[in-house]
Structure 1
């Protein structure tokens, strides 16, 4: 029984501390969030295209080497 009360106190303490920390966070504005999301999507697209081209080039290269 005492362990359950201690666990409840621990959970409520955790909740209070978490809420206090979240109030300290400097959240981005809507415009900043949209701009950063666009940047991330562009970087993902560019890196995906780069890795796809690299994969294609190595596939062709190994195909030439192994068929010879």
Structure 2
């Protein structure tokens, strides 16, 4: 039981050392990630559509 208590005590101590991002940094990073993901989704959707049409043209 003492090992478990020490483990959680160590976790709390380490979490106090963490440098958490400010709200503005968090929002900016989130917007960057969402924008990047949306761009790649659109890019690969268009690429997939193009390749599918190309294959359809070849097979007909």
Q: Above 0.5 in TM-score?
A: yes
Other-structure match for 2:32: 39
Q: Which has the larger radius of gyration?
A: 1
Structure 2: any 5+ residue segments left out of the alignment? none
Q: How many residue pairs align between the two structures?
A: 60
User: Which among 23, 28, 41 is matched to residue 48 of structure 1?
Assistant: 41
Structure 1: any 5+ residue segments left out of the alignment? 1-7
Matches of 1:66 and 1:10, distance apart in 2? 66
- TM-score normalised per structure 1: 0.82
Matches of 1:12 and 1:25, distance apart in 2? 21
- TM-score normalised per structure 2: 0.92
